[in-house]
Each structure stands twice: as structure tokens, then as C-alpha cells.
Amino acid sequence: MSVRDDGDPRLLSVVVGTGPIAARVVEELRAEFRFVEVVEVADATAAAGLVEQPDEPQVPLVVVTSTVGSVDEAVDALDRFTVFASARVALVTDRQVHDDVAGAVDRDRLDAIVAVPWTAGALAGHARSQIARWLREHRPDDPRTDLLVTPEGRPLERPDSELLREMELEADDVTRQMLASIERVLGPRPRLRLPAGVRITHQDHPVDAVLLVLRGSVALDRTTRVGDLRLHHASTGPIVGLLSLAHQRRAYFTARTTTEVDVVHLSIEQLDRALREDPDLGAALAAVSIRALARRLRRAEQLQVEKIELNRTLDEERQRLREALTALEQARMELIAQARFATLGELAAGIAHELNNPVAALERAASYLAEDVGRVLATHPQGELADVALRSARDRPPRGTAEERQLRRALEPVTGDRDLARRLVAAGVTDPDMARQLLAADADLVGLLEAAAGIGGAVRNLELASRRITGLVSSLRSYARPDGDPLDDVDLHDGLDDTLRLTAHRLRGIEVARDYGELPRLRCHPAQLDQVWTNLLVNAADSLDGSGRITITTERPDDDHVRIRILDDGPGIDPEVLPRVFEPRFSTKQGTVRFGLGLGLGIAKRIVDDHGGRLTLASEPGRTEACVVLPIDGPPDDREARS
């Protein structure tokens, strides 16, 4: 009895349920369809068994009856099988209220609801429509679709009612039909041909007529606080002024032609008469109005969505601006810091230069003093001894305080006097036998030797001090070297050592180990890199707080790079803070700008970045390592400039 090509699958309509309702459903559907087999099953499992056949039948329609208990559960059970998941679902029910369909409705799995009892043929009509929709969606080329027609032979899915029918027509057709109806009642209406820019309704003015737009475009504008806004153009609709009738007969918009238009003018009275005499006109008018309203509503909804999107974009923009502002402020702080550094650098270079002369004088004076005192001593009867005391005090490295006390104590038995023991040690006499001989020979000699040794120690201290100043001056000068083009042949170890010398006051009590490898000379801005070393060293020292160990390791990881690692065994950086340490941070206090750890690291990172290198920081308690990798070839922009 099936009417189908061999290639087309068998179609099944499954009725889920039992009892008289299911029986009636089956009866009516079987009477209706020749090419859809109707089967009755008690539940979803039975249904699955029925359809899982070798010829793979398809199921366009499932009818669930209220005898199944929970509709949601029945639909859920069915939907677990692919073959049912695409079926249309109709519910036939004798219940007054259903509270078991929320899931099905939510998932759009309830397509039709028929109440028991139904007018004979009504269920079949629903089934026909649903199967037709299913076929159109899933098997658009199936020839059986054509068999699905209304009892009157109309194609399916054409509404019966005038209103719904009109709504499905093209807008122009409705307008034309409406005009025809109007002209049947009122006689031919003159067309008004208007150029672009003519206002055909006026905002807030009374509306006494509607205009039927037959050709051309009309825009709806409204004057607002922020100026004239064009709210509708494509969404205007063919009748202008009709909606004002719902707005106390005042125009909400100014309607303005945007092209040449043909319109038909109808006063309210004329419209009223036409509506009275042609009832179909009402449906047409309603259809046109609903359609216009729907379009305007969609336009309004679209505007709402756009507004939300715009707001979001605006928020993002605002956020970006805020970030940009912060970055700018930070950049300004960095510039201030750099300017200050540059000024200090120039100042330091100047001072370093000026210090050279006094230091040279100091150093020379120390050696002249030693020579002259030597000559003076030569004239003294015990001069030779004194000269030895002077020289040994001058050349001997300073003794520790504990050692000195020990020496004194060793002499106390000989002298029997603590002060005399001290003077002997100061005079360079530490051997008890020698002390005994000396005291036996001439006790007054101790004073001479003490004085000579004092002079020797003073000269040594002078020389040490001036050498230290000389070292500091030269470090300061190379550190404060003004920026310019990068320099060639820079030995990074010099910069590291200079920095160590200049930050010595921050490194007191900290053991600094230098594990220097073989480094090639490289092209760079040494003064800038010194800032980096300073920053990393001072950070490490600060975290150690007066005791601990810093290890500086230098190496050449590959042919093109050098690597400098500064490791400390301090408490480490808070893991929450670690990712943000390179962000510039600053605080202003009493009008002066103070820089914390952050800004310094930010600057350090930028300097390394500008060199085409990489600065990374890894930290755990007891092990914090700053690692700088630099290209031997020099900064990238400089490389480009040279090539």
C-alpha cells in the first residue's frame, strides 16, 4: 500500500500510548495517509525496537498521548534515538493542565497540541502539516510531499484566514490590493508625485490623513535633544500616518521623502468610509500595520542590540584609555627618573674629574711623607730600627682586632703592664723574646718605634684611602658616561665590577661571589647596562637585608649571546607579585617621586629590551635569580643603522 520510489525510505508515524485515545489517533492517521505507516507502541523502548530495522525507515511524526504519564520523560526517551530526534512531536491529551512538558517546550520539541476530543479530521490536518514541514526540511525533493494537500486541494501551509494570508503576501501586493479596495469604494484616487525632501507628516502636529506610499522611499525622522535622528528608512512601511492614530492623532515622526514618491492621500473620513464599506480592507490594513510594526520593532530591537554592543565597545575603549593614561603617567615618571639620572651622571662625572687632582696630591703626599720621614730617621742614632718599624707597619696588612689582643696578651707576662704590651704590639714588636731584649736594652726605644710604626700605618692608610678614592672616581666616571652611540669592545666584567664598587655600601655584610666566565667583548651602552646591574644588585641586597650571598655568574650560552645571572639566597619574591615586578610602579611622597622595586625593574627590563636582550626573573624562597641575555652584536636598531 505504500506509494514510493524504491530509493525513498519507508516513513513511519509512531503513536506512543495505549487505550482508546491512542486507538483513535491510529485510526484517524491510518485513514489519512497512504504513504506513511502508522504504528502504535506502548513506550519509547518499544518504538525503538520498531524502527531499528534493516531498511532504516524514517519517522517524520511522533504522536504522544497523555496516557504515557510524563510527556517530558517520554520525549526524552524518544530523543535518545537519532531517528526520533528529528521527528515532529504532537501531543494528544485529555488533561486540562500539563506540568510535565517544560523540558520538551524548552528544547523546542513540542510542535502541536490537540485536545481530546477533537473534531473529526482535525488531528489528521495537524499531522499533515507537520509531516509536510518535516519533508520540506529533511527531504525537500521527496515526491510524496506533493501528496500532502488540504481536503480542498490547497497546498499546505497556506493559512486559511484573510489576515494571515495577507501577512504572507509581498508588501507591494498588499498595498496594491488595499488601494484597489479603497478605489472600489471611493473611486479612483489621484496619485501625488512628490520630489525628495518633502515632509509628508510633521512631528507633534495633528494627523488627519494617512498616505499610501506606492513608489519611492520615505524616512521617519524625529527631533530630539541631541539633534535630528533618522529612526526608520528601510523600515518605514507603505502607510504613513496610520500609527499616529494610536498616538492621539499627533505625528510622532516627521516623515520625509528621500526619493521621488507616488503617494495616495486619504483623509481619516475617507479611510473610515472605505473600512466601513469593505470589510476585507480592515484585514489588509491590519496586515500592513502589523507588518510595518514588526519591521519597526525589529529595527528597534536591532538598535537595542547595537546600543548594548556599542556600550560594551565603549567600556573597552574606556578601559584601554585608562590603561593608556596609566602607562603614560608611568612613562613620564620614567622620563623624570632618567632625566634625574642623567643630571646626576653629569654631576658625578664633573665631581669625579675634580677629585682627580686632590687625590693625586694625597697619594703623592703619602709617599713623600714616607721618604722624608725615612731621611729624618736616618739621622737618629736608633734610626735604622725605627725605619724597619715604619716600613713593616707600612707594608703589613692590617691585623684583626682579636689577633691584636692575643698578641698583646702574649706580651703581658714580659712587660707586666697591659699598656706597655699594647705599645710594643703597636710598635711591631710581637715576639716575647725580642720584647724582652728591647726592654732590657732601652725601654725608651719603645716610644720611638711606636711613633715610627704609627707613621708607617698612617702612610699605609693614606695610600689605601687614596687608592680607594681613585678606584671610586674611575668607576663613577665610567658609570656616569653620557649616553650616545653604543660602544664597541665593552668588557661587561668591568661594568659589573664598577657597579659592585659603587654599591658596596648596600652590599655590606653580604658575601658576593663572582663566577665570571670567558666573555667576548660586546657592543652595547655600558652606562645603561650599569644601571641594570645596579638595579639587580640592589634588589638582591635589599632582599637579603644585611646577610646572605649573591652569586654573579657570566657565561656565553651560544656564539651570539652572553648571559649574566645574579642569584641571591634571600626569602624570594612573593609569587603573587612576581608576574608584576616589571610593571612600573611609583608613589609620590611629600612632592618627591620615590621609586620602589618595580619602577627600577621596569627600567632595567626596557634597557635590556632595547639592547635586543631578555631580562627574566625566577624566584623561590632561598633562590632568586635575575637572568640577562644580551646579543654580542649590539642593539638591533643600531645594527640596522650600521648596515
Partner 1 sequence: MKLAVLILEDEPPVRDALERDLAPFRGAIRIEVAEDVDDAWAVVGEIDADDDRLALVLADHRLPGTTGVDFLVQLLADDRTRAARKVLVTGQADQADTIRAVNEAGLDRYVAKPWDPDELRAVVRNELTEHVLEHRLDPLPHLAALDAARVMVLLRDRGDR
User: Which residue ranges make up the site for partner 1 (CB under 8 A)?
Assistant: 398, 400-402, 404-405, 418-419, 454, 457-458, 461, 464-465, 505, 508-509, 546-547
Task: Determine the Cα–Cα distance for residues 80 and 504; give it in Å rounded to an integer.
Answer: 77
Measure Cα distances from 527 to 256, 331, 490, 524, 534 in Å: 72, 20, 11, 9, 10
- Taking the complex as a whole, how short is the minimal distance between the CB of residue 409 and partner 1, in angstroms? 9
Question: CB of 325: closest distance to partner 1 in angstroms?
Answer: 33
CB closer to partner 1 out of 165 and 418: 418
Q: How far is the CB of 418 from partner 1 (least distance, A)?
A: 8
The Cβ of residue 365 has, within 10 Å, a number of other Cβ atoms equal to 13
Nearer to partner 1 by Cβ, of 282 and 548: the residue is: 548
Contact in structure between 581 and 573 (CB atoms under 8 Å): yes
Closer Cβ to partner 1, 56 or 417, answer by number: 417
Cα–Cα–Cα angle for 359, 360, 364, nearest 5°? 115
Question: Could you give the 3-state DSSP secondary structure of residue 115?
Answer: strand
Q: What is the dihedral of CA 173, 178, 183, 186, to 10 degrees?
A: -170
For partner 1, the closer of residues 507 and 626 by Cβ is: 507
CB-facing half-sphere around the CA of 545: CA atoms within 13 A: 4
User: Is the CB of residue 446 less than 8 Å from the CB of residue 427?
Assistant: yes
Of the pair 404, 497, the CB lying nearest partner 1 is at 404
User: Closer CB to partner 1, residue 96 or residue 401?
Assistant: 401
Residue 467 CB, shortest distance to partner 1, in Å, is: 11
- Copy the grid coordinates of residue 559: 656564539
Which CB atom, from 544 or from 608, has the smaller least distance to partner 1?
544
CB of 451 to partner 1, least distance (A): 12
Least CB distance from residue 504 to partner 1, whole Å? 10
Specify whether the CB–CB gap between 479 and 498 falls below 8 A.
Answer: yes
Instruction: Report the nearest approach of partner 1 to the CB of residue 487 (Å).
Output: 33
Residue 618, sorted as left (phi over 0), alpha (psi -120 to 50) or beta, turns out to be beta
| 279 upstream amide cis, omega within 30 of 0 | no
Pick from 84, 92, 109, 105: which is nearest to 14 by CA?
Answer: 84
Least distance between partner 1 and beta carbon 453 (Å): 11
CB of 370 to partner 1, least distance (A): 16
Identity of the residue, 80 or 418, whose beta carbon is nearer to partner 1 in the bound complex? 418
Cα Rg, the chain, nearest whole Å? 51
Residue 66 contacts by C-beta under 8 Å, 6 or more apart in sequence? 17, 21, 91, 92, 93, 94, 95, 98, 116
Closer residue to partner 1 in complex, CB, 407/604:
407
